[in-house]
Structure 1
């Protein structure tokens, strides 16, 4: 493997280590022992849940191809997953608010374990059922757990700022370290030990079962809607009214959809972007490098969120602009760097430039997750939190399905350019969100002027 990849990995690792070791008291949040116990319990569960998800990701396409399915059939299976997440996501989110977030989290584990079991069958219909179950599980993963955390955090009376610490640690571990370890474990099971491409799914089911046991034994139940007489349609209506009546919630949903839509498009495009002529690139090592970049971003986010004087709405404008610029690099290099016509070989010079930009984007992803979680905890009403969060995923899933269906219809530069435009729009919407939040924030009283007015109207003592 070329020294370029190792050099990039070492530089990112050294930067991350330096950032973590250089923390001062200003970068840390002082908490209580009760909160630390609560936080560690959630981080354990979240890490197990993410291990169950990350173990599957790298091998889904490979497994389907091993069963003899072509690109078109595999594409249909992927679309089924995103489509089921879109169709059933809001329903399961509403049920989580109504029936309880703990029950919804357990349902996620059961649903995803069943999805893993279907991977043992080479039958197309069985695999399709598995994709539908996986789509439902994904909706629960990105709504029920966060909703449970926010509600339980507030119910136990912990300080609001401490939430940001849990968010940043969850992304650092679950979306960074656990992703890297899951990739290594999957490689060990499939390649080193030769257990075959189904082995990572069996390992994922084991982690999910362990996480479910922890949830059952240690989590208490909480609900979004304290009223017992609200049915599912009423929950939908409450969520829709909240989004329509509060511009901050609508803006937050649009920002999330624009960023995550660009992120999922990037997931599909980074491999052909770095190897347009079938260059020999180390996919697993590049994935680990991306995850290291994401950890660097989440570490940066923990510092930013620890400072109460710095508003998340402010720095996220800059993050979205940097993201837009990083995904514009493939477009820029297509004009400035002469394309290579040599088939195979090592990564090209333009590929190296793009890889640096992609690592920058992954760092922005690491900042985005805990920051968007923090904003959701501030702006989304508790009574319909899971429902609203899954409403946000509807345009995202529609967009991803369209991209999957038409991935070969447009040049890659057009797709990256579109993502860059979306991220620039997200920055504009973020600025609008900050303006509204600032205008609605209570202004401090001018006590000096108030005292003077009181003295003027005070009767004279004779």
Structure 2
């Protein structure tokens, strides 16, 4: 079965290479040298930030277990991280809009470095503090950097279409290539060099410090609404009113929460799904395969978004439908494939089918990130961008906390079925978003037609 893993990985790598090398002028966007310099600076910083995040991911659970904590205690630590992101995320998002996005990005680096330092202590309270700091940092990572980029992009007068190029490249590098390299580098530190499970967290701190130095030396500050001196409560109220009064923003938030909630649930479920009888599977290699599939998706997204005639709101319906079908595979294989009762061994035939489906889902994830970023840049008002984006994460974090707390209470097929239904609902909401985003154009044409009919003919 090792050949199967290598075949899937090699096949994905070949497709990604062909897609990137075969891009023609239709797939590329002609940009200026000033924009390319700006884009490359952001991509370097974003890649360093993601390296700091990806280096930690595979070793958090392992580190806690080496300190002697059981599944229940570790689960509480993970819930603390998501709960912290939910409780403090909106506050730090509002502060980013009010005090400056550059300062928020620097705060992310400092907060995450402090979180990494806490990993040196086996004390539960110190580790809990580290998870709380990590939750705050995560909120900043997924709001402040994008908010700074969008504001700075338009402040410098760059074309709106060029923004999609930065988004797709950021996901291709930060959520694809950097994730793979971080996994390999972490493996070298822990296994090859035998530096222990804390080593990846120290390496993450170094990457975050380098990124912070680049931000301090080369980024300029921008704000959400510098013309008005609003307090946090006023900002919260303004963001809530914006979501409640604009159906497009509300739909975008619901779509994001449904997809990301399913995605984070998938992160917890793919291991037991592929090894229900304790089959021996190469977790690190499968993780790298998933990241390669995500790179494939982001490469496809860059092609789709480079075509001005193709709207994001349109093709994302297909993406959500495909992702829903992909997460239905664990349920279908339960009924169509005879389960194996043999403990251990290599991955089963059912597991092979599911792995292919999971790769399809990860490809959808790769398309989702740059596409949702582009839609957010279009629909979310600039003056409260970080605040609104963190409002979107509140239902997401509640959902993930509930899943973590009840992960053993439901069969794995029920969990996957729930995620598949959520993605189907996201598809329906995406259809609604496309319809109402077309309304202003349709109404304008109708008004023009009525005006033309009412005008007297000059003969």
**Fold shared, TM-score > 0.5 on shorter chain:** yes
1:254 has 2:248 as partner: no
Cα deviation code 1:296-323 (max 9, x no counterpart)? 0000000000001000000000000000
Question: Displacement of 1:21 after TM fit?
Answer: 1.3
Provide the rounded CA distance (Å) in 2 between the counterparts of 1:32 and 1:449: 42
Question: Displacement of 1:193 after TM fit?
Answer: 0.3
SS in 2 for 1:26: coil
- After TM superposition, the score normalised by the length of structure 2 is 0.98
Match of 1:200 in 2: 200
- After TM superposition, the score normalised by the length of structure 1 is 0.97
Provide the rounded CA distance (Å) in 1 between the counterparts of 2:426 and 2:353: 24
Match of 1:101 in 2: 101
Provide the rounded CA distance (Å) in 1 between the counterparts of 2:247 and 2:61: 40
Task: Please show how residues 257-276 of structure 1 align to structure 2 within 5 Å.
Answer: 257-276=257-276
Question: Displacement of 1:441 after TM fit?
Answer: 2.8
Provide the rounded CA distance (Å) in 1 between the counterparts of 2:447 and 2:249: 31
1:171 has 2:171 as partner: yes
Question: Displacement of 1:229 after TM fit?
Answer: 1.9
Provide the rounded CA distance (Å) in 1 between the counterparts of 2:10 and 2:320: 26
SS in 2 for 1:230: coil
Structure 1: tracts of 5 or more residues without a match: none
Provide the rounded CA distance (Å) in 2 between the counterparts of 1:445 and 1:220: 44
1:141 has 2:125 as partner: no
1:312 has 2:328 as partner: no
What is the aligned-residue RMSD (CA, Å)?
Answer: 1.5
Cα deviation code 1:244-290 (max 9, x no counterpart)? 00000000000000000000000000000000000000000000000
Question: Displacement of 1:452 after TM fit?
Answer: 9.4
Match of 2:437 in 1: 437
Question: Displacement of 1:454 after TM fit?
Answer: 6.6
Match of 1:421 in 2: 421
Question: Displacement of 1:457 after TM fit?
Answer: 3.2
Task: Please show how residues 342-361 of structure 1 align to structure 2 within 5 Å.
Answer: 342-361=342-361
Match of 1:285 in 2: 285
SS in 2 for 1:457: coil
Cα deviation code 1:419-458 (max 9, x no counterpart)? 0000000000000000000012364599999889878236
Provide the rounded CA distance (Å) in 2 between the counterparts of 1:359 and 1:396: 23
Provide the rounded CA distance (Å) in 2 between the counterparts of 1:254 and 1:446: 32
Provide the rounded CA distance (Å) in 2 between the counterparts of 1:246 and 1:56: 38
SS in 2 for 1:31: coil
Total equivalences in the alignment: 458
Match of 1:45 in 2: 45
Question: Displacement of 1:228 after TM fit?
Answer: 3.9
Provide the rounded CA distance (Å) in 2 between the counterparts of 1:159 and 1:133: 37
Match of 2:329 in 1: 329
